[in-house]
Amino acid sequence: MSPLHELIVNNRRSLRYALGLMLVFAGGLILVLKALNGASGWL
């Protein structure tokens, strides 16, 4: 088990924060991709 994984397991709040951050990042990335697809569709 890597040190980072042990750190996350020991700190549940950090895990929840990291998961929330990843969800927000993934959501933003999907929105950007959809916007780019829509923009290319207009051209």
Which pLDDT score is estimated for 42? 67
pTM of the model: 0.54
Instruction: Say whether 10 sits in a helix, a strand or coil.
Output: helix
Which pLDDT score is estimated for 16? 87
Residue whose entry in the numeric block shows the structure tokens 């924060």 = 17
Which pLDDT score is estimated for 34? 92
Q: What is the largest CA-CA distance in the chain?
A: 51
Which pLDDT score is estimated for 11? 82
Spatial neighbors of 18 by CB under 8 A, at least 6 apart, are 8
The one-digit pLDDT tens for each residue of the chain (43 residues) are 688 888 767 788 888 888 999 999 999 999 999 999 888 776 6
Instruction: Please check whether residue 15 is in contact with residue 8, taking contact to mean a CB–CB distance below 8 angstroms.
Output: yes
